[in-house]
Structure 1
């Protein structure tokens, strides 16, 4: 018999969200009450998969086994306690304390997961299965040489973020008949939304990823500009590298423009869901601007947007949340200095 989620479990979920994500701790409370719990839980499930994939102390085989075990936990086929007791002692100092705590309390998170309606559970289970499979495959292929080409980057972004866009769309449509009316159009844009956010993170985290032996940049984009990613070092001033970054910034901008189109398909009266989307888009565009202006940055903190910028973006997008024309004008103004997308990016 499934274990029932308790009030303490709910409180724990709210508490740990503050520790593992500044962004989602801001955006999730904007959602309607009926969505806050399930989307907060979905984020924590994805974070657990991330933790399994990111901890370098785990061997490839351990990563694969733990990812498969967690998929089975979410599906209700393996006890969450077994997973937590297996993974927790293996975590290294590379994993932040809040993630150590999250793994330790996996049973509380899963009790909430198993309390959702069948449609919500199906959406979460599908997302975690695809994410787990993809992350294991890419973890085994990690290298400083980068991904083979832009299509490979698209596939990587789908497994870690595009599928999250699909899951959120399923949850939004389950919540609201009005949103469900636009489901085909929303689903068509959902992967692009996720990719825009993920590409922004990849660009921001180039140097942190390289420190742990990974590079998610596409080789072909840089080779076309005359630069080999094998030669990449912090402080690189090679014009070919900077030009390659410009191409990827333009592609990310295009995906974020699709993310705005997605948001405008949400009925204006669903202001909480619109704010949830708009705040993420706003922070991503501001981050792209910083990366574009400082292509020779050597660590993510140099292109991190300030708290003041975050507050300003939140205020403006909240005031304009119901006005599509104003949001489109704001996006155009904010993205004015960014390169245009001149390459095709394959969205799965």
Structure 2
């Protein structure tokens, strides 16, 4: 596993992956790279939608043994990446698949399942949002569609994370089946956080993940959101999904507590706490729809969270107090 490549493409998620204990670390890291490759393929907007869809299907088929080592379409997409890290990822996708083929059978099956889930989410993206700029802006047709999307992109990885832990962590082999459901809910909460944080950026890529019927009820059309002055009218829709996100992230509290070691608790608690904080920043933002004014947890806060880990996560009481503090800050706005 090339951890330098992983660090370059995974940003904050690298922290959680790197802190994992050795038995689960390679599988988790490989899962991230494979899923990130699917996302990169779908987001290569200089390549026509149909071509990206075809490459995704070829990538999906690789997990059924139908892999062409050179995979020239992927190599061609690599040339179009603005990011050096994503260019390297796509150019080395064959290596990633070779690593997948070398993993134990049980891990290979879990990796296949999570990549298929993410690719299904990318299919939805390409089908629902065929345009690549604001001139073709569309919204998702229903709340159920947004729920499904979050389940594919975030929930699938949450289930994968949980099942891979069960394979390698003896203390989790007999954990209640509800742990998978909590992993699913936590993953969906993390995904809706990304969506709500990135609303203005996605709008200019032709994507409005907020359901069209809810926009209509607020007197809005997707194209109205390109005007930052529409933020006030959008607040009821945003609050609906901020609450939805918080309800899902609440399941992450029990997930963290169920982890039997400090490293495993940290790997789940960091993204959980950062997501709750991000939702608070979104809820308070006065520049919600302004391009380039996206919210972000400060580096100082991230460092503070990491530094407090041994104290906070060595006690269930202290972790719950920390979560309640972050949660209360968000709930007070909603």
TM-score (norm 2): 0.91
Alpha carbons 2:203, 2:226 under 8 Å: kept: no
Structure 2 CA distance for partners of 1:225 and 1:323, relative to 1, 3 Å: farther
Aligned equivalent of 2:30, options 41, 46, 52: 41
Equivalent-residue separation in structure 2 for 1:63 and 1:183 (angstroms): 40
- SS class of match (2:209): coil
Q: How many residues align?
A: 327
Instruction: Give the corresponding residue for 1:82.
Output: 70
Determine the C-alpha separation between the residues in 1 that align with 2:266 and 2:27: 17
Quote the Cα distance in structure 2 between the aligned partners of 1:61 and 1:165: 29
CA distance in 1, matches of 2:118, 2:333: 27
CA shift in 2, pair 1:91/1:201, >3 Å: same
Structure 2 counterpart of 1:145, from 138, 146, 152: 138
Cα separation, partners in 2 of 1:247 and 1:316, compared to 1, 3 Å: farther
- Match of residue 276 from structure 1: 267
- Check whether the contact 1:236–1:296 (CA below 8 A) recurs between aligned residues: no
Conservation of the 8 A alpha-carbon contact between 1:131 and 1:163: yes
TM-superposed deviation, 1:178: 1.4
Long gaps (5+) in structure 2: 130-135
Shift of residue 96 of structure 1? 2.0
CA, structure 1 residues 89+261, in 2 after alignment: closer, same or farther (shift >3 Å)?
A: same
CA distance in 2, matches of 1:125, 1:55: 22
Matching residue within 161, 172, 184 for 1:179: 172
Structure 1 CA distance for aligned equivalents of residues 226 and 239 of structure 2: 18
CA RMSD of aligned residues (A): 2.1
Where in structure 2 are the equivalents of 1:153-164 lying within 5 Å?
153-164=146-157
Aligned residue among 11, 14, 27 for 2:16? 27
**1:183–1:170 distance in 2 versus 1, CA, 3 Å:** farther
Q: Hey, what's the Cα distance between the residues in 2 that align with 1:213 and 1:55?
A: 14
1:52 aligns with 2:41: yes
Contact 1:250 1:340 (C-alpha < 8 Å) held by counterparts = no
Separation in 2, partners of 1:301, 1:239: 16
CA drift of 1:210 comes to 1.6
Stretch moving more, 155-164 or 300-309: 300-309
Q: Any idea what the Cα deviations from partners look like across 1:146-203, whole Å, max 9, x if unmatched? A: 1122211010111111111111111010012311212411112121111111011001
Specify every segment of 5 or more residues in structure 1 that has no aligned partner in the other structure, as ranges: 1-9, 343-348
Alignment check: 8 A CA contact 1:173 1:183 kept: no
In the alignment, which residue of structure 2 is the partner of 1:315?
Answer: 307
How do 1:232-243 and structure 2 match up within 5 A?
A: 232-243=225-236
* C-alpha deviation, 1:19, in angstroms: 1.1
Match of 2:55 in 1: 66
Query: Which residue, out of 81, 101, 108, partners 2:88?
Result: 101
Note the C-alpha offset of 1:225. 3.3
In structure 2, distance between residues paired with 1:299 and 1:273: 36
Q: Equivalent residue for 2:209?
A: 216
User: Contact between 1:200 and 1:284, CA under 8 Å: does it hold in 2?
Assistant: yes
Q: C-alpha distance in 2, partners of 1:21/1:226?
A: 38
